[in-house]
């Protein structure tokens, strides 16, 4: 299987060749040349598989340049019950992504039982093990540089801590993350993890990362890498749990299900799109946004209008606070019939801060199952209270956005599965506001705020971060 760029001007590469990179050299995103197809007989065989076996059945069709036995070992090491242990009482951690029935034909797919209590662990843990394998094989090293407002940085650090050949330099805005998120990251004592608290906001951190990455000479000399949401390895790992969720709530392959996905950068729901293209019987893919509704606007009007960071709202579902949806180009590539010249033309305006309008293609959207909706703070609070009262389940603010929009698209006899993208313990303040009480927290994480913290403070200064990297690497 070769991977091609959505912009069509970069050579096709194998999985391992794109694993450590980000954008293709032509500015596009990588996608498989063709989507492998799962037949009715395949689905029947996969039904009932344990998570790791299911992951191997899917990923081995997309990754053909890692020997099958090695890939199997990497997957088995990643998807173990001990890694995804923070299940609710009564759930079985060996399911890795257990489903929780809310009522007839309405389910949560619990994706947030990993070490950092958000769905990003599902992909990042695999990426960490793949990185270690590929680096060891090629004798290379990498220095991952990233900016985080919480979820991505912690998931990356827990996936890469202690890994050979990798250092992680993670910038976060000083005193702007929740106490829990700060404690999760800063309490890590691993030597290859560097937490840098920047005197500024998230956008300042991101600007520093961009400035370093734009210095091609520095980037090459110090082997600067990234694990951001456009990484194909992350998308591909996320495809697996759509299959797992489908099998969990159906008993034969003629049944269809819908998924509702709390969305920001379009990475999670893009994996759902790919699962559907591979033959998984998905009826609807519900794109749920918060007040930052650039995706909802597109799916309703055909206009894609990124907002810019000055027009991005800070909301109570902060991991969905995006100005543009970095993975969206992958879907548009399929929507325009994989015509890369069309994608280039559309992004020629987007890349300089503009918008595009493809209204004439709106009638094609039903072929892909996409629908959308948005949610705001009041909706989230109400949805959290409703779920608590009706189903005795506490959900986090992001999952609440997903549930709120899911309820607008339910159909008789089609199970609706809402992806749970974080556990409520991660966003305690919002839960206290909605329910008047703290959410429960996995016992192993009690008191993490009191652990010794390891981080360095830094001004908003590109020279300083470069010097910091130079010092630590040499």
Residues 320, 290 contacting (CB under 8 angstroms): yes
Nearer to ligand PLP by Cβ, of 133 and 241: the residue is 241
Question: Contact between 422 and ligand PLP (CB under 6 A)?
Answer: yes
Contact between 151 and ligand PLP by CB under 6 A: the answer reads yes
149 binds ligand PLP (CB under 6 A): no
Asked whether the beta carbons of 98 and 91 are under 8 A apart, the reply is yes
For residues 383 and 421, which CB has a smaller minimum distance to ligand PLP in the complex?
421
Q: What gap in Å lies between CA 265 and CA 438, rounded to an integer?
A: 29
In terms of CB distance, is 166 or 287 closer to ligand PLP? 287
- Nearest approach in angstroms of CB 320 to ligand PLP is 5
Site string for ligand PLP, 294-323 (x = CB under 6 A): -------------------------xx---
Total of chain residues touching ligand PLP, rule CB under 6 A: 16
Q: Residue 307 in contact with residue 281, Cβ under 8 Å?
A: no
State how far the alpha carbon of 449 is from the alpha carbons of 202, 269, 386, 412, 453, in Å. Answer: 22, 33, 30, 46, 9
Contact status: 118 vs ligand PLP (CB under 6 A): yes
Q: Which of 72, 77, 120, 404 is catalytic?
A: 120
Which one of the spans 36-44, 167-175, 264-272, 364-372 is the region binding ligand PLP (CB under 6 A)? Answer: 264-272
Residue 181 to residues 82, 162, 188, 422, 431, Cα–Cα distance (Å): 21, 20, 12, 12, 15
Residue among 464, 455, 470, 463 at smallest CA distance from 196: 455
124 vs 212, beta carbon nearer ligand PLP:
124
Choice from 122, 400, 421, 455 touching ligand PLP (CB under 6 A): 421
Tell me if 231 contacts ligand PLP by CB under 6 A: no
Residue 186: its H or E element: helix 179-186
The answer to whether 164 is a known catalytic residue is: no
* CA gap 271, 205 in Å, rounded: 28
Q: Phi and psi (nearest 5°) for 99?
A: -100, 150
229 makes contact with ligand PLP (CB under 6 A) = yes
3-state helix, strand, coil in the chain (%, to 5): 45, 15, 40
**317, 401 in Cβ contact below 8 A?**
yes
Binding piece for ligand PLP, criterion CB under 6 A, among 9-17, 162-170, 190-198, 260-268: 260-268
> 141 or 309, CB closer to ligand PLP?
309
Distance CA 466, CA 222 (A): 10
Among 264, 373, 415, 424, the residue binding ligand PLP under the rule CB under 6 A is 264
CB nearer ligand PLP, residue 231 or residue 421: 421
Q: Is 388 in the site for ligand PLP (CB under 6 A)?
A: no
Which string of b and e fits 393-404 if b means at least 16 CB within 10 Å?
bbbbbbbbbbbb
Given the rule CB under 6 A, which of 208-216, 258-266, 383-391, 429-437 is the region that contacts ligand PLP?
258-266
**Residue positions annotated with a catalytic role:** 120
Which residues are at the interface with ligand PLP (CB under 6 A)? 118, 120, 151, 229, 262-268, 319-320, 398, 421-422
């Amino acid at each position: 299987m070769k991977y091609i760029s959505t912009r069509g001007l970069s050579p096709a590469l194998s999985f391992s060749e794109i694993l450590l990179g980000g954008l293709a050299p032509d500015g596009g995103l990588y996608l498989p040349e063709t989507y492998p197809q799962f037949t009715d007989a395949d689905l029947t065989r996969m039904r009932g598989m344990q998570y790791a076996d299911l992951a191997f059945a899917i990923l081995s069709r997309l990754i053909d340049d890692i020997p099958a036995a090695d890939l199997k070992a990497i997957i088995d090491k990643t998807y173990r019950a001990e890694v995804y242990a923070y299940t609710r009482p009564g759930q079985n951690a060996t399911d890795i992504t257990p489903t929780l029935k809310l009522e007839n034909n309405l389910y949560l797919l619990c994706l947030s039982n990993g070490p950092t209590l958000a769905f990003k662990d599902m992909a990042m843990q695999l990426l960490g093990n793949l990185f270690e394998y590929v680096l060891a094989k090629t004798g290379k090293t990498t220095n991952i540089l990233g900016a985080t407002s919480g979820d991505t940085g912690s998931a990356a650090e827990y996936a890469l801590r202690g890994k050979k050949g990798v250092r992680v330099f993670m910038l976060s805005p000083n005193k702007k993350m929740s106490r829990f998120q700060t404690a999760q990251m800063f309490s890590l004592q691993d030597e290859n993890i560097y937490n840098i608290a920047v005197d500024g906001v998230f956008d300042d951190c991101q600007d520093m990362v961009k400035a370093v990455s734009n210095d091609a000479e520095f980037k090459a000399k110090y082997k600067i890498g990234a694990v951001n949401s456009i990484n194909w390895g992350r998308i591909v790992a996320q495809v697996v749990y759509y299959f797992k969720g489908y099998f969990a709530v159906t008993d034969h392959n003629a049944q269809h299900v819908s998924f509702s996905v709390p969305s920001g950068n379009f990475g999670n729901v893009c994996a759902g799109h790919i699962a559907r293209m591979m033959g998984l019987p998905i009826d609807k893919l519900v794109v749920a946004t918060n007040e930052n509704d650039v995706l909802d606007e597109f799916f309703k009007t055909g206009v894609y209008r990124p907002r810019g960071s000055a027009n991005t709202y800070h909301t109570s579902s902060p991991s969905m606070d995006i100005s543009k949806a970095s993975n969206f180009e992958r879907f548009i590539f399929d929507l325009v019939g994989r015509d890369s010249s069309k994608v280039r033309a559309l992004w020629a305006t987007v890349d300089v801060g503009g918008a595009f309008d493809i209204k004439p293609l709106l009638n094609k959207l039903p072929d892909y199952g996409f629908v959308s909706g948005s949610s705001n703070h009041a909706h989230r609070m109400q949805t959290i209270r409703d779920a608590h009262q009706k189903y005795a389940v506490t959900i986090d603010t992001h999952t609440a956005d997903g549930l709120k929009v899911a309820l607008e698209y339910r159909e008789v006899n089609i199970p609706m599965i809402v992806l749970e993208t974080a556990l409520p313990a991660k966003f305690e303040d919002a839960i206290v506001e909605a329910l008047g009480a703290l959410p429960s927290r996995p016992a192993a994480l009690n008191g993490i705020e009191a652990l010794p913290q390891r981080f360095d403070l830094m001004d908003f200064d590109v020279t300083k971060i470069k010097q910091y990297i130079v010092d630590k690497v040499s």
